[in-house]
Amino acid sequence: MSEATLGGYLAKHERPPAFAGQDGQPYSVDLFVDEAPDDRGRHAGSLIFVRWSPSGDRPVGHVESEPLAWGRSALEAEERLKALSLYDVKAALDQAIEQDPGEW
């Protein structure tokens, strides 16, 4: 898997990638996959973006993406999330910030 994908980055660096959100704040990303399938038998996968303090020493909030991948198993949904390019992950972060700008 290419380092330009979420899964490739995680494998190579053994840590989540970090991004500057469109709000200028620092974020890291993690995967979230529903353990139980929906009524169609699919597990939904989303990204959770943790917002960090300016010094990076503590989390101060988070935003979540809409479901971005589905699978017949949680593992399949996770693998599909890992196949996302880092450009797509950044776009999902900015969209999540737009949808929930929060009151920081």
Q: What is the mean pLDDT of residues 2-24?
A: 95
The share of the chain scoring above pLDDT 90, in percent, equals 90
Query: What pLDDT score was predicted for residue 1?
Result: 75
Query: What pLDDT score was predicted for residue 50?
Result: 97
Choice between 87 and 103, residue whose per-residue pLDDT is larger: 87
Judged against a pLDDT cut of 80, whether residue 37 lies above it is answered with: yes
The answer for residues whose C-beta is within 8 angstroms of residue 91's C-beta and 6 or more apart is: none
**Ranges of each domain in the chain:** 6-99
Question: Is residue 71 within 8 Å of residue 63, measured between CB atoms?
Answer: no
Whole-structure pTM value: 0.91
